[in-house]
Amino acid sequence: MDQDSRLKLPARTVSPVRALGLRVGAAFGLMIAMIVLVYIDRRGYNDSADGSMSLLDCIYYTTVTITTTGYGDITPVSVSARLVNAVIVTPLRIIFLILLIGTTLEVLATQGRERIRAARWRNKMRNHVLIVGYGTKGRSAVETLKTHDITADQIIVIDSSPTAIADAQADGLAGIVGDATRREVLARAEASLAKQIIITADRDDSAVLATLTARQLNSKAYIVVAVREEQNAALVRQSGADSTVTSSEAVGRLLGLSTLSPALGEVLEDLLSSGDGMEVTERDVIDDEIGRSPKWVSDQVMGVKRAGKVYRFFDDEVSALAKGDTLIVVRDASA
């Protein structure tokens, strides 16, 4: 398995790099302390090579002693030197070994914990939302989902950029670094069990391939794809997308409308923004509204979904609301 395309769950608050740095720093601190002790009492040691102890000899003795190598060419001969070795150096050696072993065990334990977390995630991941691409469009989609009761643990992100996945992890999302056009990458994200798949690729050809692959893995998921050019929307739908959003065309229309009518542009931008002002949402029809025209509902109805098909509020087919209808309405975002 490609190391970069492994599942990356939201990062823990304690950084492994920082923890390792602290351990290495503590180990060097122990070595420096021991070097100082040996150098202060260097006359109490005997070097079989020349009988004297230089600073380099003290460093050498410390490294071979604290790592339990012990060649025996330098030995403590005075009472004070032997006492220091028995009372201070030996405990320092034990602490040093604990640090080394502890670091190794911590690395192994961290890897084990991550595997267990990934296994648990896979076991419970059903009917989740898969986001392909964590750029501006992908992040906006996630924020909108969160405001509509989709929790972070129900969302997983795929992006080819490690930086983007790191950002997703920082936002509390699971992520996979990889190419979403590849079947094995989508499989790691449990695409076959996803309820919705949102594809926001940087290029339309990548969006087409990702849509084809996702649809092969999951015939039931609702797939929404962002395309850059209008002429590619039909191809994406033929590839298996249920809905397409043409980003460049939509932005262009919004720019044109904002130029011709700043007030209209402001209202449309308000509708597209999430969590503030007006918002487009959907809800079930209530009993008091059954049999009434959509024009007389308390909320501003824009469309009616009936039997899987969406009608405009003025279409004759939905002139009277029926039980089971779903209303697409404009309402106060705080509601």
Q: How far is CA 139 from CA 110, 126, 131, 174, 275, in A?
A: 29, 21, 9, 13, 14
Say what angle helices 90-124 and 16-40 make with each other, to 10 degrees: 180
Q: What is the mean pLDDT of residues 299-324?
A: 90
CATH fold for domain 3-124: Helix Hairpins (1.10.287)
Taking only the tens place, the pLDDT of each residue in 101-124 is 766 666 656 666 666 666 666 667
Q: What percentage of the chain exceeds 70 in pLDDT?
A: 82
Taking only the tens place, the pLDDT of each residue in 9-61 is 665 545 556 666 777 788 888 889 889 988 998 889 988 888 788 999 999 98
Using alpha carbons, select from 180, 196, 200, 198 the residue that is nearest to residue 188. Answer: 180
Q: What percentage of the chain exceeds 90 in pLDDT?
A: 28
Quote the CATH superfamily of domain 277-335: Regulator of K+ conductance, C-terminal domain (3.30.70.1450)
pLDDT at site 273 = 67
Give me the phi and psi of 307, to 5 degrees please. 55, 40
Residue 3: pLDDT over 60: no
Taking only the tens place, the pLDDT of each residue in 129-155 is 999 999 888 888 888 888 777 888 889
Which distant-in-sequence residues (6+ apart) come within 8 Å of 174 by Cβ?
A: 7, 8, 9, 10, 121, 153, 155, 156, 157, 168
Using alpha carbons, select from 42, 101, 41 the residue that is nearest to residue 68. Answer: 101
The overall average pLDDT reported for the chain is 83
pLDDT at site 51 = 79
pLDDT at site 256 = 74
Residue 4: pLDDT over 60: no
In the chain, where the domains are located? 3-124, 129-250, 277-335
Buried-state track 260-285, b at ≥16 Cβ within 10 A, e below 16: eeeeebeebeeeeebeeeebeeeeeb
- Predicted confidence band at 195 (pLDDT cuts at 50, 70, 90)? very high
Q: Between the CA atoms of 275, 277, 278 and 281, what dihedral angle is there, to the nearest 10 degrees?
A: 10
Q: What would the 3-class secondary structure string for 3-28 be? A: HHHCEECCCCCCCHHHHHHHHHHHHH
pLDDT at site 25 = 82
To the question of domain 129-250 being in CATH 3.40.50.720, the answer is: yes
Give me the phi and psi of 285, to 5 degrees please. -70, 140
In the numeric block, which tokens belong to residue 82?
A: 């032997």
Amino acid identity of residue 298, one-letter, is S
